[in-house]
Structures are given as structure tokens and as C-alpha cells.
């Protein structure tokens, strides 16, 4: 266990019950998926203002190490991991692999990514279960630039992502992946992305619900078609547009 990770010793907790989505209750498959997630320990930290405060408060009150104060986003973000822990890879060991239907398969270090033209976006971060973190700054490289670096072959139609947690998967169509607001992110809130939040490098898909933003990004594979990701196999929409998917149609978003 990495003792520098204050979230490490926290025990897995139940995922909060699904909020019925206005006009359409959460489908049975989604609900069952959430039960499964709870058992697997999807949520292992939470903001102190909700019913899960028991997770963080014992650390805050009894944490003689003071490590809890290193959690910069405690109170804003929740920390999700379907494997129930936060995998760790150092900045120097980190590699991003680009494989599949590309002309030049590539392995990029964090320094390689940081040497590429960067982009910064400030957007609300929204989980499909209802919590939202307003105005989060993200910095990284446009996914489109990473794809061009490897040279996408004409037969590719989709981009598949895997995580070095060994379990999480996601995907986008090639058109979605080429949007300006989709990035391979290495900074969040203008700091390096912490291990809990998917660092050193995670995907950030601004126009979609949080589950698209694969943490601990390991491999980007160009493929002929989309493969439903971890949560999508549990019933969530493959096209996860905020406000326009998973039973929502919110003209304000
Ligand atoms: N590898 C991995 N990526 C993941 C998840 C996960 O459990 N594992 N959870 C997803 C979900 S449902 C959300 S809402 C966000 C949460 O990001 P955070 O843990 O940084 O708050 O990460 C997404 N990416
Ligand atoms: Mo989420």
C-alpha cells in the first residue's frame, strides 16, 4: 500500500442508490449494475456533506499523519474506482500506448505528452448518478493530436480505452474522439492529476458523463467499431452526452 495515498486505507463503501431520472426511472439493468458496483467497492471516498461522510471523517478526526489534508479536492469530488483501490504509476514509469489500426504504434511518456501542444478547459464535471463539480480546470493534449501522432488508418471508426487498474474500459466513436473538448489530461485544477483521480494521465471527455473519462489511462486502441465499456455493459448509454442520455433530456445543459 502506498502510504502517500490518503485514500488508500479507506474501506470500500456502497455506491449511493440511483436517483430516479426525471420522467424515466433508472432501468433495471442499470440498477443491478449499481448493486454490483457497490459490492465491488466502486466508491471509496466522498464529500463530507453527504451520508458517506463517515468515510472521510474518521480520517480527518483521527488522522495523526495529516495526510488527509493532502487530498486537494476533498469536499468537491468523489473518488471512484471499480477495483476498490487506486492503482499507482509514477510520472517516470508512466507510458501511454497507442495501438490497433494506426500507421505508427506509439508509446508516449508523460514528458512526451507534456511536450505536445497543450489545451486547457474549464467545465463542470458531472457523474451520471447526480453529483456535479462546478468549473473544474483540465489541462492536457487533445486526443485528436495524440491520434494524429500515431496516424489513424482509414478502416478505424472507434477508439477503445483501457486503464492500468486492469478492469475499466471505455470507448468513443472516432468522430467523438476528434472533438476539441476531448483530451488526454495530465492536470486537474491546475495541479498534476493525483493517483486517486486517475493520474498521472486520464481521459477527459467534457461533453459526456464522468464514466467516459477513463482514469489511469493505459492504452488507446484504434478499432473498427465501438465496444461498450465497463458501465455500459451494466446498462448505461454508450453515447453519454450530458443532459441528453441515460433517460435525461435537459435543454439547459
Ligand atoms: N479506471 C476508472 N476510470 C473511471 C472510473 C473508475 O471506476 N475506474 N469511474 C468513472 C466514473 S463513473 C466517474 S463519475 C469518474 C469519477 O472521477 P473521479 O474519481 O476523479 O471523481 O471517473 C470515471 N472513470
Ligand atoms: Mo460516474
pLDDT band at 96 (very low <50, low <70, confident <90, very high): very high
Phi/psi of residue 28, each to 5°? Answer: -60, -40
Range of the domain at 53: 24-79
Residue-wise pLDDT for 37-86, tens only, equals 433 333 443 333 333 333 333 333 334 444 444 445 555 778 889 998 89
**Number of structural domains the chain divides into:** 2
Across the strands, what pairs with 141?
A: 184
For 172-208, the pLDDT digits (tens) are 999 999 999 999 999 999 999 999 999 999 999 999 9
Residue 11 inside a domain? The answer is: no
Task: Please give the distance, rounded to the nearest whole angstrom, from the Cα atom of residue 78 to the centre of ligand 1.
Answer: 9
Q: Are residues 142 and 178 in the same domain?
A: yes
Q: Is residue 4 part of a domain?
A: no
User: Does some domain include residue 5?
Assistant: no
pLDDT at 1 over 50: no
How many Å lie between the centroid of ligand 2 and the Cα of residue 211? 5
- Which of the listed residues 79, 106, 123 is the one where a domain comes to its end? 79
Say yes or no: CB of residue 80 within 6 Å of ligand 1: yes
Binding site membership of 221 for ligand 1 (Cβ less than 6 Å): no
Q: What is the dihedral of CA 149, 203, 139, 108, to 10 degrees?
A: -40
Q: Are both 69 and 95 inside the same structural domain? A: no
Asked if residue 85 has its Cβ within 6 Å of ligand 1, the reply is no
Cα gap 144→13, rounded to integer Å = 37
Q: Residue 251 — very low, low, confident or very high, per pLDDT cuts 50/70/90?
A: low
Name the one residue in this structure whose C-alpha cell is 465499456. Answer: 229
Same domain, 147 and 234: yes
Ligand 1 pocket member 229 (CB < 6 A): no
pLDDT digits (tens, 9 = 90+) for 195-250: 999 999 999 999 999 999 999 999 999 999 999 999 999 999 999 999 999 998 87
> In angstroms, rounded to a whole number, what is the distance separating the alpha carbons of residues 242 and 237?
11
Q: Is-above-0.85 flag for pTM?
A: no
Report the alpha-carbon distance of residue 242 to residue 224 in Å, rounded. Answer: 25
Q: Are residues 75 and 92 in the same domain?
A: no
CA atoms within a 13 Å half-sphere pointing along the CA-CB vector of 141: 19
CA gap 199, 188 in Å, rounded: 9
Amino acid at each position: 500500500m502506498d502510504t502517500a495515498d490518503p485514500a488508500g486505507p479507506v474501506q470500500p463503501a456502497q455506491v449511493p442508490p440511483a436517483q430516479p431520472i426525471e420522467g424515466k426511472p433508472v432501468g433495471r439493468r442499470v440498477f443491478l449494475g449499481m448493486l454490483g458496483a457497490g459490492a465491488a467497492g466502486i466508491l471509496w471516498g466522498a464529500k463530507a456533506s453527504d451520508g458517506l461522510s463517515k468515510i472521510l471523517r474518521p480520517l480527518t478526526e483521527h488522522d495523526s499523519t495529516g495526510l488527509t489534508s493532502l487530498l486537494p479536492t476533498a469536499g468537491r469530488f468523489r473518488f471512484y474506482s471499480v477495483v476498490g483501490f487506486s492503482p499507482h504509476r509514477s510520472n517516470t514509469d508512466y507510458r501511454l500506448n497507442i495501438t490497433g489500426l494506426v500507421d505508427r504504434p506509439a508509446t508516449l511518456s508523460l514528458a512526451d505528452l507534456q511536450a505536445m501542444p497543450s489545451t486547457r478547459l474549464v467545465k463542470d464535471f458531472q457523474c451520471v448518478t447526480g453529483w456535479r463539480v462546478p468549473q473544474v480546470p483540465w489541462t492536457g493534449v487533445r486526443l485528436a493530436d495524440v491520434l494524429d501522432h500515431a496516424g489513424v488508418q482509414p478502416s478505424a471508426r472507434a477508439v477503445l480505452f483501457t486503464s492500468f487498474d486492469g478492469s475499466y474500459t471505455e470507448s468513443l466513436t472516432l468522430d467523438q474522439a476528434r472533438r476539441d473538448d476531448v483530451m488526454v489530461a495530465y492536470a486537474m485544477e491546475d495541479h498534476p492529476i493525483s493517483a486517486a483521480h486517475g493520474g498521472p494521465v486520464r481521459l477527459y471527455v467534457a461533453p459526456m458523463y464522468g464514466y467516459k473519462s477513463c482514469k489511469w489511462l493505459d492504452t488507446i486502441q484504434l478499432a473498427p467499431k465501438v465496444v461498450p465499456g465497463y458501465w455500459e455493459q451494466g446498462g448505461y448509454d454508450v453515447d453519454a452526452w450530458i443532459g441528453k442520455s441515460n433517460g435525461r433530456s435537459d435543454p439547459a445543459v
